């Protein structure tokens, strides 16, 4: 039993308890990650149905208290010193009320003796696989932060805003702030019997201040004075601590060139910040052309699309050469005096999109621009005119602007919008004419969040 689940997380059900009250048995299986050899995560299938119902059907998900993954990644780029950490077995740190544990029963072999008959256990903690677990765990974590304000506003803010489930990402101005923040978060988590571990930073001084037991696996055996810092995964995005840059090495499997295989290949490129949006859009366009032709899931590609697909696949290995600086600021930048977001949108008959750049000005009037976020979409299958697509792209810029203004930790951000469509500019500047509902609704969304001068 201890080989898959910690002894304190489950308890043996005595024989006399077997049929007392309402009970539920949950099937479970191990999940293995190819990049984490030797590790297993036990997932309980709370969606498994018996007589037409499942445990998840009767659990409440609760309010969504999980921070935006894209927002956490965007804030991770704000300052020069980056830190990343993880809360060990977060769901299993929060107990289930004793009267509810009979709904978390499962079968396993006593003392791991697989030659014996399986016996009944029940979990004492929240499960990976239960729809209620993320809400309960996140509420518990935020409650710990609320009840322990003595650790300081920076520590509480980190717990409330810079954790995505159990992964924490944060960037700060100096090494001293990074060391103080990590220690504070560790102490706060300890108040709730949570253990912070897998800590990593792009600063060697910060890493040397951490106990080896708290460092990430790839750091523990390194000589920090001479060895290069390894590549870590920051919420699924590869981050090289040595060069302090994001990089891409998509593991494209050799799927068959069918609609099913192409969908699997395109969807396997994880790019939440839109660095690869133009490339991914080309793959999506090929998939859309197959849908237009009404091709079946396992029907092979016709010759004209096969050539495009092979050309697209040949571009993927070149992503290994792409590196994007994590921090928005260059090393020489001083304190900021002006922060601006510039949003550009465009459209054509095959697709539309937008990109946002951060323009920073420091106290010495040095200027630096960084790419922040990009979005690209294929056009709908239903025919749409180019002016309407340009308008849709402009609305996408407004949505991204609202998101970034909420997520980025900068004050007094100026926003500016760019489009090459005179039709869209005419729509926005026209207050005398009434438009069709589609156009009027889109214009109203733009005007609600901006003024014509922007």
CA distance 127 to 104: 9
271, burial (CB in 10 Å: exposed 0-12, middle 13-18, buried 19+): middle
CB 308 within 8 Å of CB 288: no
Supply 159's token pair.
């717990």
How many alpha carbons fall within 13 Å on the CB side of residue 130?
25
> What pLDDT shows up at residue 33?
76
Structure tokens given for 121:
């256990």
Separation of alpha carbons 454 and 419, rounded Å: 11
Whole-number Å distance between alpha carbons of 30 and 246: 31
Domain ranges of the chain: 7-240, 259-323, 328-449
pLDDT at 161: 94
- The residue written with tokens 């030797």 in the block is 38
What was the pLDDT predicted at 405? 96
DSSP 8-state code for residue 184: H
- Give the pLDDT of residue 56: 94
Q: Is the pLDDT of residue 1 over 60?
A: no
The CA angle 241-242-247, to the nearest 5 degrees, is 65
The angle formed by the CA atoms of residues 156, 160 and 165, to the nearest 5 degrees, is 130
Angle at which helix 386-407 crosses helix 437-449, to 10 degrees, equals: 30
Whole-angstrom distance, CA of residue 431 vs CA of residue 347:
24
Fold of 328-449: Nucleotidyltransferase; domain 5 (3.30.420)
* Cα R_g (the chain), whole angstroms: 26
In this predicted structure, what is the pLDDT of residue 128?
85
pLDDT of residue 2: 41
Alpha carbon distance 162, 256 (integer Å): 40
Task: Give the β-pairing of 167-172 and 81-87.
Answer: antiparallel
Q: Which residues have CB under 8 Å from 20's CB, separation 6+?
A: 102
Cα–Cα distance measured from residue 4 to residue 8, given in angstroms and rounded to the nearest whole number = 12
Rounded CA separation 73/169 (Å): 7
The predicted structure's pLDDT at residue 174: 92
Mean pLDDT of all residues in 11-35? 76
Extended strands (E) in 277-430: 323-325, 336-348, 351-362, 367-378, 413-419
pLDDT (mean) for 365-387: 93
Q: What is the spatial distance between Cα 264 and Cα 270, in angstroms, rounded to a whole number?
A: 12
Instruction: Give strand ranges (E) for 254-366.
Output: 323-325, 336-348, 351-362
Tokens (6 digits) for 263: 């969908």
Is residue 18 over pLDDT 60?
Answer: no
- Tell me the pLDDT tens digit for each residue of 85-119: 999 989 999 999 998 999 999 998 888 788 888 98
Q: pTM above 0.85?
A: yes
Determine the pLDDT at residue 3: 47
What's the pLDDT score for residue 278? 93
195 burial via Cβ count (<10 Å: 0-12, 13-18, 19+): middle
Mean pLDDT for the stretch of residues 433-447: 89
Statement: residue 8 has pLDDT above 90: no
pLDDT in tens, 205-225: 988 888 877 777 777 777 777
**32: CB partners within 8 A, 6+ apart:** 39, 40
Residue by residue, DSSP assigns 410-435 as -SSEEEEEEE--HHHHHHHH--SS--
Mean of the per-residue pLDDT values of the chain: 90
* Exposure of 120 in the CB half-sphere (CA atoms within 13 A): 16
Mean local confidence (pLDDT), 398-404: 96
* % the chain with pLDDT above 70: 97
Tell me: pLDDT of 9 over 70.
Answer: yes
């Amino acid at each position: 039993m201890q080989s898959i689940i910690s002894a304190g997380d489950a308890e043996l059900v005595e024989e006399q308890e077997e049929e007392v009250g309402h009970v539920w048995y949950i099937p479970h299986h191990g999940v293995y990650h190819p990049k984490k050899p030797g590790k297993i995560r036990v997932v309980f299938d709370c969606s498994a149905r018996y007589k037409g119902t499942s445990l998840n059907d009767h659990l409440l998900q609760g309010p969504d208290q999980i921070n935006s993954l894209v927002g956490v990644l965007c804030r991770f780029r704000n300052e020069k010193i980056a830190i990343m950490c993880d809360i060990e077995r977060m769901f299993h740190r929060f107990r289930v009320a004793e009267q509810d544990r009979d709904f978390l029963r499962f079968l396993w072999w006593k003392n791991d003796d697989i030659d014996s008959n399986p016996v009944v256990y029940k979990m004492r903690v929240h499960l990976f696989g239960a729809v209620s677990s993320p809400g309960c765990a996140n509420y518990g974590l935020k409650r710990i932060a609320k009840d322990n304000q003595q650790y300081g506003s920076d520590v509480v803010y980190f717990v409330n805003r810079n954790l995505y489930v159990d992964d924490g990402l944060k960037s700060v101005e100096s090494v001293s702030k990074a060391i103080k923040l990590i220690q504070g978060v560790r102490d706060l988590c300890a108040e709730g019997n949570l253990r912070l571990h897998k800590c990593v930073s792009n600063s060697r001084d910060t890493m040397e201040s951490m106990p080896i037991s708290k460092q990430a696996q790839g750091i523990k055996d390194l000589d920090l004075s001479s060895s290069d810092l390894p590549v870590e995964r920051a919420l699924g995005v590869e981050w090289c601590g040595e060069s302090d840059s994001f990089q891409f090495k998509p593991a494209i499997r050799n799927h068959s060139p069918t609609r099913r295989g192409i969908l699997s290949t395109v969807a396997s490129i994880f790019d939440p910040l839109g660095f690869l949006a133009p490339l991914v859009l080309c793959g999506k366009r090929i998939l859309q052309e197959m849908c237009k032709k009404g091709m079946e899931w396992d029907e092979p590609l016709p010759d004209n699309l096969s050539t495009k697909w092979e050309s697209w696949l040949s571009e993927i290995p070149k992503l290994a050469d792409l590196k994007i600086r994590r921090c928005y600021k260059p090393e020489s930048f001083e304190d900021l005096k002006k922060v601006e977001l510039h949003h550009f949108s465009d459209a054509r008959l095959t697709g539309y999109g937008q990109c946002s750049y951060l323009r920073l000005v420091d106290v010495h009037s040095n200027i630096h621009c960084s790419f922040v976020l990009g979005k690209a979409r294929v056009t709908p299958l239903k025919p749409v005119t180019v002016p309407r697509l340009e308008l849709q792209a402009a609305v996408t810029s407004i949505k991204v602007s609202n998101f970034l203004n909420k997520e980025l930790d900068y004050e007094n951000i100026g926003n500016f919008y760019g489009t090459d469509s005179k039709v869209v500019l005419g729509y926005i500047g026209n207050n005398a004419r009434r438009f069709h509902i589609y156009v009027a609704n889109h214009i109203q969304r733009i005007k609600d969040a901006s003024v014509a001068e922007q």
